[in-house]
Structure 1
Amino acid sequence: MFRRVLGTTLGFVGYTVQYGCIAHCAFEYIGEVVVCSGPSMEPTIVNHDIVFSERMSRHLCKIEKGDIIIAKSPFDPNMNICKRVIGLEGDKVCTSAPSDLFKNHFFVPKGHVWLEGDNLRNSTDSRSYGPIPYALIRGRVCLKLWPPHSFGTLSESPSRQIIKPQRNSDSD
């Protein structure tokens, strides 16, 4: 009797560990579901929207200007932020805080990205804390899951501040 109970318990623990490892690998390397909070990405993503963040782009260094990313906060490693990539390493970014009269120019250093919220008047982003290291990026938001009426891929930046350069294969 004791052997049977022990065997059943150990079998259950074994399956639980296996499925836990599979789930961990899926969330770490494939993607995760994220509930967004705060007004910084309005109107693209509003408070309590649920999005899917894929992790493959981060691992393959395929983050591009205009992508919305989930990253670790540079202020609090226990908190994630959701922002749009405005500049990549080597880019010159021209931006200003909502209260500034003049534009500021920043160069994005190697291994960093410049992030800004779509709601520029209500966003704490790279304008406050500077460029963030690429290593803080957790994933690229590729799909809005909730609410159902806005299910689908995400739109361009509402401020249209992203200018994607034309790729010319002859100059490479």
Structure 2
Amino acid sequence: MYAFGPSMILTLHPSGNVALAERISEISRGDVVILQSPQDPNKLLIKRVIGVEGDCVSFVVDKDESRRTIVVPRGHVWVEGDYTQNSRDSRTFGPLPYGLIQGRVLWRVWPFQDFGPIGPTTT
């Protein structure tokens, strides 16, 4: 898969990476996942899982930095881009149904200087 854009800049290069992904059986907090956009079904996004069902997640709501906390509902995850200042993610579209997750990103394979695993570490 080819991925580009600024929302995952701390994990993936904004001008593009080729990455290896797998269809997944279990989602874990910290996984980087490919998902179908809940706002545009023709678009795929790459985001990090911040919370799984039952987790309490706090996030900044607006430019005034007011915070909101939610409990991730059953059958959903909370996803965010690593570069939160420029990411359309669960802070925009809410908890994401598991059914929209297409796979988990495992390795960066190009450019070669970035070659390596993408671990489940949250930023």
- Shared topology, TM-score over 0.5? yes
Aligned to 2:22: 54
Aligned to 1:150: 114
Q: Work out the CA distance in 1 between the residues paired with 2:102 and 2:78.
A: 15
* Cα deviation digits, residues 53-77 of structure 1 (max 9, x gap): 111x2xx2x1100000000000111
> How far is 1:46 from its partner?
1.7
Aligned to 1:42: 9
Aligned-pair RMSD on alpha carbons? 1.2
Aligned to 1:79: 43
Higher Rg = 1
TM-score by length of 2: 0.93
> How far is 1:101 from its partner?
2.1
Give the helix-richer structure, 1 or 2.
1
Retained in 2: the 8 A contact 1:72–1:80? yes
Q: Work out the CA distance in 2 between the residues paired with 1:153 and 1:100.
A: 36
Unaligned regions of 5+ residues in structure 2, if any?
none
Q: Work out the CA distance in 1 between the residues paired with 2:7 and 2:62.
A: 13
Identify which of structures 1 and 2 has the higher relative contact order when contacts are C-alpha pairs closer than 8 Å and 6+ apart: 2
Count the aligned residue pairs.
121
Q: Work out the CA distance in 1 between the residues paired with 2:12 and 2:106.
A: 12
Q: 1:88 to 1:100 in 2, by over 3 A?
A: farther
Q: Work out the CA distance in 2 between the residues paired with 1:101 and 1:75.
A: 24
Does residue 1:107 correspond to 2:74, yes or no? no
Q: Work out the CA distance in 1 between the residues paired with 2:63 and 2:9.
A: 19
Identity of aligned residues (%): 44
Does residue 1:65 correspond to 2:14, yes or no? no
Moved over 6 A (4+): none
Give the strand-richer structure, 1 or 2.
2
Retained in 2: the 8 A contact 1:89–1:113? yes
Q: Work out the CA distance in 2 between the residues paired with 1:96 and 1:38.
A: 22
